Amino acid sequence: MKPIPVAFHIWHLEIHTYGVGLALTFWFAYRYFAKRLRDRGYPDAWLGTTFVEIVVAAIIGARAVHVLANLSYYRSDPVAVFEVWQGGLSSFGGLLAAVPVGLVSARRRCPELSIGKAGDIVSPVLVGAWAVGRLLGPQLMVAGGGKPTTAWFGMYYAGEVGRRLPVPIFQALECTAVYLLAIEVERLVARRGGPTGLVTATSVGLWGLSRFVDEYFWLTHDTGTDAVEIGSLALFAAGIALFLWRALRHRSRRNTGSDDALATTGRAS
């Protein structure tokens, strides 16, 4: 089985399948986020400008962190820093730049949308888009596979010798599972009147855990993997901490409310 073509031509113009896949992923995220906003009674007319800002910030941040993690290579070829079409985007860098830009822009253009609500609305979108993006991005790029393997499910990738673990497919399946769990938490919160933040915590924590599994077990360890593993575990810990904090605080408030109600009833009687 030959590697998947990483580019095709329209006349004399070379089109990279990786770039087309990322563009489709961004379009999916935009449409899905807009739908989730409308379903919850929020306007979405402001989202177009904010989304452009998010995309630009994500690409710049993702590229910057990738370059910093591989600085020895780019020192010898500075022009390659700008060759984004060759691949080389860090998911952590993209999030680091895009999340604050998105929150500030959303807060300015849609002040009725609180940060907690925004996080719960957008986090399943990000996880779902990540699942789509793995199949339409790294799966179609040069050197998109993981460690060498002789297993039957190994695939050939352009720029890599022999069969490789199809890590982008693994990641898509992982993120689909995380997305489904986040949606289930969202349903439980809506049904039982739970606090904001639990959906965000579920998405962040489980996504961080899945990234650690990817990096530690399936990907090669020659491009700053240690930093990615640490960042992944930090996200996992942050997700657990946020979930416990929001859940325990909500329970405490409910218990306090019940105690106040009982005390009032006792005084009245």
d(CA 172, CA 167): 9
pLDDT in tens, 35-82: 999 999 999 999 999 999 999 999 899 888 888 877 888 888 888 888
**Could you say which DSSP state residue 219 is in?**
S
Q: What is the pTM of this model?
A: 0.85
pLDDT for residue 262 is more than 50? no
Using a CB cutoff of 8 Å and minimum separation of 24, what contacts does 134-138 make?
Answer: 134/168, 134/169, 134/171, 134/172, 134/175, 135/21, 135/168, 135/169, 135/172, 136/20, 136/21, 136/22, 136/24, 136/25, 137/18, 137/21, 137/22, 137/25, 137/168, 138/18, 138/87, 138/167, 138/168, 138/171
pLDDT at 204: 96
Decide if 198 contacts 170 (C-beta within 8 A). no
pLDDT at 87: 63
Quick one: how far is CA 267 from the chain centroid?
52
d(CA 155, CA 3): 8
Burial of 19 (0-12, 13-18, 19+ CB in 10 A): middle
Query: Residue 263 — pLDDT band, cuts 50, 70, 90?
Result: very low
Q: Decide: helix, strand or coil at residue 10.
A: strand
Amino acid at 1: M
Quick one: how far is CA 77 from the chain centroid?
30
Average pLDDT over every residue of 193-200: 94
The CA-CA-CA angle for residues 175, 8, 51, to 5°, reads 45
pLDDT in tens, 227-254: 788 889 999 999 999 999 999 999 888 8
